[in-house]
Amino acid sequence: MRLLATRLYPRPSRRPDNHQGCGALPVVVSEQSPQQVQVAWLKQALIDPANYGGFPTPAQKLQEDLETIIRNIKRNYPNIKLTYLSSRTRAYTTTFHNPEPFAYESGFAVKWTIALSVRRSPRLGIANVLTDPPLEPVSYTHL
């Protein structure tokens, strides 16, 4: 199996009022076609989140960006089955790019986006393609 990496992200902007949408820059590292991509991994952060104010505003902006990226993943990779989301693990920085506590607080954006997916929110553009899982008894063993 070969990997196909593509960057689908909101265009960088340090201005909170700048909503340019989401750009796509393909970075192809294999010979796979977009139709062959079934799994994606998404990790995103805001540049200079302090410009958006205090919590929860930067996390809400990041959530909007994540939703846009997920919709673009579905549009650019029509056979996508699964998108993994992950948050920042640490910042170790005091620069304006994405210092603490913003790196920590960005985890809430990932949590809220996953909650939308669980609720099959139309905001993600995927509610119409998901079906309910079959209701079957689950067997388990107590250890």
pLDDT for 21 equals 43
What would the pLDDT profile of 34-46 be if each residue is shown by its tens digit? 888 888 888 888 8
State the greatest distance between any 2 C-alpha atoms of the chain, in Å, as a whole number.
54
Residue 122 DSSP class:
G
Cβ–Cβ under 8 Å, residues 48 and 3: no
Both tokens of residue 45?
Answer: 């952060």
pTM score above 0.75: no
Distance (Å, whole) CA 64 – CA 12: 14
Picking from 12, 38, 8, 13, the residue whose alpha carbon sits closest to that of residue 25 is 8
pLDDT for 38 equals 86
pLDDT for 61 equals 95
